[in-house]
Chains A and B, each alone.
Chain A
Amino acid sequence: MEFLRQATWSPYLVGFAIGVLSWLSFLISRKALGTSTSYARTSGMIWQKYDRDLVLNMKYYQQYLPEIDWQWMLVIGIIIGSFISSLLSGEFSLSFLPATEFESILNQNVLGRIFSALAGGMLVGFGARWSGGCPSGHGISGTLQLSLSSWIAAICFFISGIAVALLLY
């Protein structure tokens, strides 16, 4: 029980467990772990409320139907799982400005954080869909299947992420 209440677990234990989860996901669901396609589906679900014909005729939404699927539920599950984990460890707390050692107007000022999260989120969403995945889909699931394009994508995520973070903070 004590173990379940610890604030953090070793990253090696967590990484190992995520690796095992990827086996189970392939075995049980025949799916690789990933998340970013779900945001594209969500955008289509919202957009089609305004212009259904346009959305249904777009190539992207014909490939990724604007509907709830396995991965979309996985993203909902992540929210729930993280909520349970943070409640058990006592780490749950409502906050808008993230606690950080790398203080900047981008994370310690409400308007600055609205800007960084909104603009950063847009680039993350756009970039993830352009590259076809995110640090879960490319960075874990693609790399572990030895997909060359996923290894290149994962390296690109970190190259520009590191460069921009070093410039900003």
Chain B
Amino acid sequence: MTAEKKSRLIKGLITGIIFGFLLQRGGATRYNVIIGQLMLQDFTVVKIIVTAIITGMIGIYFLLDRGLVELSPKNHSLKQVIPGGLIFGVGFALLGYCPGTIAGAAGQGSLDALIPGLIGITLGSGLYARFHENFGDLLARGSFEKPTLPERWNINHWKIIFPLAGILLALLLLLEFRGL
């Protein structure tokens, strides 16, 4: 293994250790917290994700303006994100973890995540690879010409970021006021 490759793997590992620590400490690796979110009774998961989006988008676009980072926005067709996303949600409600939090659940000793959960995700991913062989090209057709909203609407990104951050902050405030 080259030194460069090794250094990338170590960077991934360290990033993951911090990510896992935060997910666990935030409560997001608990089945009860995730199911509580889907039951609309415990909004921990939404609070974590929304705060991460606000912080992340402001910082990343600030760094982008200074030429310090390059974006790598995902760009998938509606035939990928809608059916794929809806199937994911069904599994999410049954499993009670997502692909990131299941690794954290395994680390905190949840054996349902470590054994049947991880076996299931790996099997499902392999089945998709097989499905992709026949249908992948068809599904990928019609992806957006311009992946991000500022490119699509041809406006400066801050004109989207500030209003969006405002809406997301209002959502968090609403949750707090309603005691959720």
Contacts and interface: CB of A to CB of B under 8 A. Distances in A.
Contacts, number: 527
Contacts of B52: 15-16, 18-19, 22, 140, 144
> Which of A21, A35, A121 gathers the greatest number of chain B CB atoms within 10 Å?
A121
Looking at chain B's contact residues, is the secondary structure mostly helix, strand, loop, or mixed? helix
A12 B53 CA distance: 11
Query: Which of B23, B85, B126 has the most chain A CB atoms inside 10 A of its CB?
Result: B85
Contacts of A60: 128-129, 132-133, 136
B75 A152 contact: no
**How extensive is the interface on chain A, given as a class?**
35 or more
A89 B152 CA distance: 46
Interface in B122-180: 122-133, 136-137, 139, 143-144, 147-150, 152, 157, 160-161, 164, 172
A54 B31 CA distance: 37
Given A92-B109, A160-B85, A165-B38, A144 B60 contact: yes
Contacts of A69: 8-9, 12
Given A85-B25, A142-B73, A150-B81, 20 more contacts: A15-B48, A16-B52, A18-B23, A60-B133, A70-B11, A76-B103, A81-B24, A82-B24, A98-B30, A98-B96, A99-B32, A119-B94, A123-B95, A127-B89, A135-B98, A145-B71, A147-B75, A149-B78, A153-B85, A163-B89
Interface of B: 8-32, 35-36, 38-40, 44, 47-57, 59-60, 63, 68-78, 80-113, 115-133, 136-137, 139, 143-144, 147-150, 152, 157, 160-161, 164, 172
